[in-house]
DNA sequence: TCGGTCAACGAGCCAT
DNA sequence: ATGGCTCGTTGACCGA
């Protein structure tokens, strides 16, 4: 698997010490992912004061239903000592449907996070334990009634996922776990994000294709109108060699096609056929009909004239 | 209030 | 059987 583009992201990742008095990660963030050495990279996901407002009402939920996002899921990643670490199962009370999907759960169990210690003008810590979820137990508690709470990923989380998506639009289990650990999301949330992201990409591509086809169609329509005009002009000018409906002159076909009042038996007889060396597209398309291959006009066709009595 | 966005979900399909 | 995917949809949230 390819390495995740962690270091390429222009995120507010803290390298070493954070400028704020309180750091989300009191330990360095997961040092490695898939063998990469990011020892002093601390994933300090932060939001500004304005962003904080939206995050403020994000309350915690707990992840227990999915055991996959334990730290063991990404063995290369050291256990994180983050205030946003997911709460234990006994504190679980919320999940993505019915309870707060978004809230962070500090390790110490308090509802608010360390961000409150920072001045408003400074970057605030993001409660990144948004993924914590406990679907099964809560469903039982709710009697099955599910009230979904909207999760909004932070800009940093989204940017991180975007960067990863650019590297690979699908995830391996390992990558999923690593991302989930990095962003303090549930692997399921990472998975869903990638699914939705692929859908958005596809939709955009379809829109682009549709637009291109529309332009192509418009161009063809213009070309068609132009050719129609040319045909009309040629007919009007009574050119010495007018355009004929050659369908009439195809043996085996003419009889089945609408008659052309412009042609009569004489003009039709001016068209002869040459033998075809093998099966042609025509005979393939119309196997039941006789087909004589390419035809040629053996002598000049008389000028177009009306013959009301001409029928096939 | 309404429409857009997007996380989340369920159904169905497919590969292993 | 299982897991991951796509597709269509739902519902919370947000800005006009």
A131 touches strand B (CB under 7 A): yes
Which 119-148 residues of chain A approach strand C with CB closer than 7 Å? Answer: 147-148
Predicted confidence at residue A221, as pLDDT, reads: 95
A106-117: pLDDT as tens digits = 333 333 333 332
Q: Which nucleotide does the CA of A199 lie closest to, via C1'?
A: C6
Q: What string of DSSP letters covers A211-246? A: HHHHHHHHHHHHHHHHHHHHHHHHHHHT-SS----G
User: Is residue A138 very low, low, confident or very high in pLDDT (cuts 50, 70, 90)?
Assistant: very low
Paired residues of A153 in beta bridges: none
Burial A240-265 (b: 16+ CB within 10 A, else e): eebebeeebbbeebbeeeeebebbbe
A152 touches strand B (CB under 7 A): yes
User: Is residue A257 very low, low, confident or very high in pLDDT (cuts 50, 70, 90)?
Assistant: very low
Predicted confidence at residue A218, as pLDDT, reads: 93
Please tell me whether residue A280 adopts helix, strand or coil conformation.
Answer: coil
Contacts (Cβ under 8 Å, ≥6 apart) of A303:
A238, A240, A242
Predicted confidence at residue A241, as pLDDT, reads: 56
pLDDT at residue A262 above 80? no
A172 touches strand C (CB under 7 A): no
Kindly report the bases of strand B lying within 7 A of a protein C-beta atom.
6-10
pLDDT at residue A312 above 70? no
A87-100: pLDDT as tens digits = 333 333 333 333 34
A9-28: pLDDT as tens digits = 333 333 233 333 333 333 33
Kindly report the bases of strand C lying within 7 A of a protein C-beta atom.
4-8, 10-14
pLDDT at residue A275 above 60? no
In order of start, what are the domains of chain A with their CATH numbers?
A: 155-237 (1.10.10.60)
A206 touches strand C (CB under 7 A): no
User: Is residue A216 very low, low, confident or very high in pLDDT (cuts 50, 70, 90)?
Assistant: very high
A150 touches strand B (CB under 7 A): yes
User: Is residue A148 very low, low, confident or very high in pLDDT (cuts 50, 70, 90)?
Assistant: low
How many Å apart are A123 CA and B3 C1'? 32
Query: What proportion of chain A, given as a percentage, has pLDDT over 90?
Result: 7
pLDDT at residue A236 above 60? yes
User: Is residue A172 very low, low, confident or very high in pLDDT (cuts 50, 70, 90)?
Assistant: confident
pLDDT at residue A192 above 60? yes
Apex A151 CA angle, A148 and A157, nearest 5: 160
pLDDT: which is higher, A199 or A40: A199
Instruction: Identify the CA nearest to A83 among candidates A34, A35, A48, A126.
Output: A126
């Amino acid at each position: 698997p390819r390495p995740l583009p962690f270091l390429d992201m222009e995120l507010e990742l803290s390298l070493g010490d954070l400028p704020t008095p309180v750091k989300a990660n009191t330990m360095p963030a997961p040092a490695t992912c898939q063998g990469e050495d990011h020892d002093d990279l601390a994933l300090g996901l932060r939001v500004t004061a304005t962003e904080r407002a939206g995050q403020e009402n994000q309350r915690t939920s707990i992840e227990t239903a999915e055991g996959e996002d334990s730290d063991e899921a990404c063995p290369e990643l050291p256990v994180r000592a983050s205030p946003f670490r997911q709460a234990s199962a006994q504190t679980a009370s919320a999940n993505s449907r019915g309870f707060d999907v978004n809230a962070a759960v500090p390790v110490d169990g308090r509802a608010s996070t360390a961000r409150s210690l920072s001045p408003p003008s400074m970057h605030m810590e993001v409660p990144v334990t948004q993924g914590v979820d406990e679907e099964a137990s809560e469903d039982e508690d709710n009697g099955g009634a599910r009230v979904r709470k909207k999760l909004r990923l932070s800009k940093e989380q989204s940017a991180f996922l975007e960067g990863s998506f650019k590297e690979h639009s699908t995830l391996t289990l390992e990558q999923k776990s690593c991302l989930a650990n990095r962003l303090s999301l549930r692997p399921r949330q990472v998975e869903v994000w990638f699914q939705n992201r692929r859908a958005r990409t596809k939709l955009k591509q379809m829109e682009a294709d549709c637009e291109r086809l529309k332009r192509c169609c418009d161009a063809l329509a213009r070309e068609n109108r132009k050719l129609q005009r040319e045909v009309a002009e040629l007919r009007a000018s009574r050119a010495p060699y007018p355009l004929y409906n050659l369908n009439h002159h195809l043996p085996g076909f003419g009889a089945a096609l609408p008659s052309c009042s412009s042609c009569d038996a004489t003009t039709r007889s001016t068209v002869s056929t040459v033998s075809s060396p093998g099966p042609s597209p025509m005979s393939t398309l119309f196997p039941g009909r006789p087909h004589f291959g390419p035809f040629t006009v053996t002598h000049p066709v008389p000028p177009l004239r009306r013959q009301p009595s001409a029928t096939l």
